Structure formats: C-alpha cells, structure tokens
Amino acid sequence: MAARTTEARQSLSENVRLYTHPACLQHDPGEGHPESPARLRAVLEALDDPRFAHIERVEAPRATREQLLRVHQPAYIESIYANAPQSGSVRLDPDTVMSPASLEAAERAAGAVCAAVDAVMAKQTKRAFCAVRPPGHHATPDAAMGFCIFNGIAVGAAHALAVHGLGRVAILDPDVHHGNGTQDIFWREPRVLYLSSHQMPLYPGTGARSEHGVGNVVNAPLPPQAGSREFRAAWDDTLFPALEDFRPQLLLVSAGFDAHRRDPLAQLQVETEDYAWITRRLCDLADEHAQGRVVSVLEGGYDLGALRESVAAHVAALL
C-alpha cells in the first residue's frame, strides 16, 4: 500500500506544476488597494495544504522583450521600463500602480505563463498553475488597465503560436470582469479562441454577446446576482460547445475567482464548488482534444478567504 501511495503522489506531482516567484509578493500598489500582496500570500497558503505537497514548485522566469513584443506595442513596453520607479510609486491609470518591485513582478508573471506553456508542450507536466501577480487580462496592446501591466495570458498564447507552432489555442476566462485586453489583442487572430463569462454591467464595460472578433470571441455576460445555475448554464450551453467545436491544442485559463459570492468588487453569487466543477470540465475537454494540456494563470479574487478556498478547489481539480 505504501508503495502504491508513493507512486500515486509522484503521478500527481508530474500532473501539475506550480510557477511563482517572490518578486510577485513585492509588487505593492499601496495601502488599501484591493490587488494587494496579501492575495498571493493567501494563494500560497492554500497551496501549502498537504494535498499539494508533491506539486513541483518552479521559479517563474522573467519574460523577454521578444515575448512581450508579440502582444504589446514597442512604445508601450518602453514606457513601462522607462517609468518604472526606483522609489515611491507611479500611477499608470486610475487603478494601476507601479512600485519599485512592480516591473520585475510583471515580467515574472508573464514569463511564468511562457515557461508553463513550454513545460506542457515538452510533456514535462500535464498541467500548470501560475500563482503570480499583478494580473494581466485587462492590459491592452498599448495600455495598462485594471491592475494589469503586461497581459501574461496573451503573452503565453502568442508564445504557443510562435514557438510551438500551434494552430488552435483556447483562452477561457471566468473572471467576473471581462478580459478586454485579451479580447483586444486577439480580436483578428483566428488561431486563438477567447471565451468569457463575466458580470455585465461592470468594469471595464466590454464583453457584450455581440462582440465576436473574426468568429473567435464568445462572450456570455451574466447579470448582477446571477449564481451557480446561471454560471454553469453559460458554460454548458454557450462556452463549452464553442470550445468543443474549436478542438483546441492547448487550453489557457484566466483563473479569476472574483465571481465568488463573497467577493467585494462584484455581485455574482458563484460558489467555491463551481470553480472545481468548471476546472473538471475543462480538464476533460483538454484530455479529449489537447493531450491534457492546461495552463492556468491567477487573475482576480479579492476576498482572501474565498480566494484561498477557490484556488484550492481549482488546483485539486487540476490534479
């Protein structure tokens, strides 16, 4: 029995890899800001659970300029590097702040996704979770937005296209806020399918059902107070069928947990178990179409208890 248990634990460790870096804890938008270092501390505490003891931990590398340039305008990247503060802080938009540690944190957050994509493509692991911050899905080709500096999941998707030659990459985004930056970046890229459930109306004001890109964008907005039934129906009836039709070779997840009923920044009523449910479903689809390949990246989630519970449910389902 002991031998079988050891083998099972080794199998689990090979199934999921965790990417993170201490620099992501040092990014400090300021006192009272909802996107605080405490968020990542809560996530890492959740992953200290004995259930996850055998997950391989990997230090997230910095994204290269070449990787960033695949999705961001050169002038924007140069402005971020030029304005990165040595002390104090710089406000990039009303919600997005850079402290002295923010540039490295943003580089590592985007670099983690590229490294995770490389690992699943090389069959070093079946799935990966990037426990990083700042988040990324609001960052557009030429602007920081909504706590986001570099769009890490977009950088990872573009890396999969350019380096690994994939022709069908799917991005699933259940964050309560629509990933306008990701949608914008891939608006005319048929090799990338963008699927989103989100509250509407809510920041950033995008994500209507009528927004289709070149047929590669599917949005399923939900009204305030919508709960588990409506959330699951959006994925079962609209988003997962589109994913099935696309037959992705790689699944990337903008893992936002702020649709949770306890989150202070929105009004959806999603439960912790819903995150386990959606993760199991997307893993089944990945096993069917993408050789099991899933890379998940932390986005939103601002109630620390709900975030801790939801991340644990998500990663347990990835296992």
Does residue 194 carry a pLDDT above 70? Answer: yes
- Per-residue CA distances from 274 to 151, 179, 186, 229 (Å): 25, 20, 27, 9
SS (H, E, C) 199-230: ECCCCCCCCCCCCCCCCCEEEEEECCCCEHHH
DSSP symbol at 270 = B
Does residue 93 carry a pLDDT above 70? Answer: yes
CB–CB of 137/151 below 8 Å? yes
Which pLDDT belongs to residue 203? 98
Q: Average pLDDT for residues 182-203, to the nearest whole number?
A: 98
Pick the more confident residue, 2 or 144: 144
DSSP symbol at 238 = I
What is the rounded CA–CA span in Å between residue 99 and residue 36? 12
Q: Average pLDDT for residues 174-186, to the nearest whole number?
A: 98
CB–CB of 318/279 below 8 Å? yes
**Residue in the structure block whose two tokens are 């964050």:** 175
pLDDT band at 18 (very low <50, low <70, confident <90, very high): very high
What is the rounded CA–CA span in Å between residue 241 and residue 66? 34
Which pLDDT belongs to residue 4? 40
In 3D, which of 298, 318, 313 has the Cα closest to residue 39? 298
What is the rounded CA–CA span in Å between residue 271 and residue 263? 11
DSSP symbol at 50 = G
Which pLDDT belongs to residue 265? 98
Q: Average pLDDT for residues 44-58, to the nearest whole number?
A: 96
pLDDT band at 14 (very low <50, low <70, confident <90, very high): low
Residues recognised as catalytic: 138
139-167 pLDDT per residue, tens:
999 999 999 999 999 999 999 999 999 99
108-135 pLDDT per residue, tens:
999 999 999 999 999 999 999 999 999 9
Please tell me the total count of domains within the chain: 1
Does residue 41 carry a pLDDT above 70? Answer: yes
Mean pLDDT, all residues of the chain: 96
Q: What percent of the chain has pLDDT over 70?
A: 96
- Beta strand ranges found along the chain (DSSP E): 16-20, 56-59, 90-93, 96-98, 127-130, 169-173, 192-199, 217-222, 250-255, 294-298
What is the rounded CA–CA span in Å between residue 221 and residue 68? 29
Q: From the DSSP assignment, how many helices (H) and strands (E) are in the chain?
A: 12, 10
Does residue 8 carry a pLDDT above 70? Answer: no
By mean pLDDT, which of 4-8, 121-125, 149-153, 245-249 is the weakest?
4-8
Does residue 303 carry a pLDDT above 60? Answer: yes
CB–CB of 312/46 below 8 Å? yes
Residue range(s) defining the domain that contains residue 210: 2-318
- The CATH number given to whatever domain includes residue 22 is 3.40.800.20
283-302 pLDDT per residue, tens:
999 999 999 999 999 999 99
What is the rounded CA–CA span in Å between residue 176 and residue 50? 29
Q: Average pLDDT for residues 13-32, to the nearest whole number?
A: 93
